[in-house]
């Protein structure tokens, strides 16, 4: 199955006050372009490393794989470095094996 990236900004892992359509993880490919809520277990986490360190314009990115680990993941949540201060903990250390919900555009 193809990997689908779910890019989330400010609303990552938060409860949204307005109504969102919640879908099953296996329905993600049918929801491309829609804003939905997906809940599932984090099966794997990957954080990019910079070579050389501090390359101009490049920053580490955190990937949370839902449903299965890479390369068989069903949905990947992308957390950019600029969004890490929005978390009270390091997502790459905290979410492994946890059930999470995320709302955003597929």
Whether residue 63 contacts residue 45, with contact meaning beta carbons closer than 8 Å, is answered with yes
pLDDT tens-digit map of 51-95 = 666 666 678 899 999 999 999 999 999 999 999 999 999 999 999
pLDDT at 21: 87
pTM score of the predicted model: 0.74
Which residue intervals of 3-90 are DSSP H helices? none
Residue 39 pLDDT greater than 90, yes or no: yes
**What's the farthest any 2 CA atoms get from each other in the chain?**
44
In three-state secondary structure terms, 94 is helix
Predicted local distance difference test score (pLDDT) of residue 11: 40
DSSP, res 93: H
pLDDT at 9: 37
Using the structure block, give the residue that is written with the tokens 């490049």: 58
pLDDT above 60: residue 7: no
Of 25-29, 72-76, 100-104, least confident by mean pLDDT is: 25-29
């Amino acid at each position: 199955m193809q990997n689908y990236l779910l890019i989330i900004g400010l609303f990552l892992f938060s409860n949204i006050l307005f109504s969102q359509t919640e879908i099953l993880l296996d329905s993600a490919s049918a929801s491309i372009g829609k804003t939905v809520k997906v809940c599932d277990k984090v099966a794997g986490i990957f954080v990019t490393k910079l070579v050389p360190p501090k390359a101009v314009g490049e920053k580490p990115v955190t990937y949370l794989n839902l449903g299965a680990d890479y390369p068989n993941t069903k949905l990947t949540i992308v957390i950019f470095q600029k969004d890490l201060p929005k978390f009270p903990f390091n997502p790459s250390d905290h979410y492994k094996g946890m059930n999470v919900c995320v709302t955003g555009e597929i």
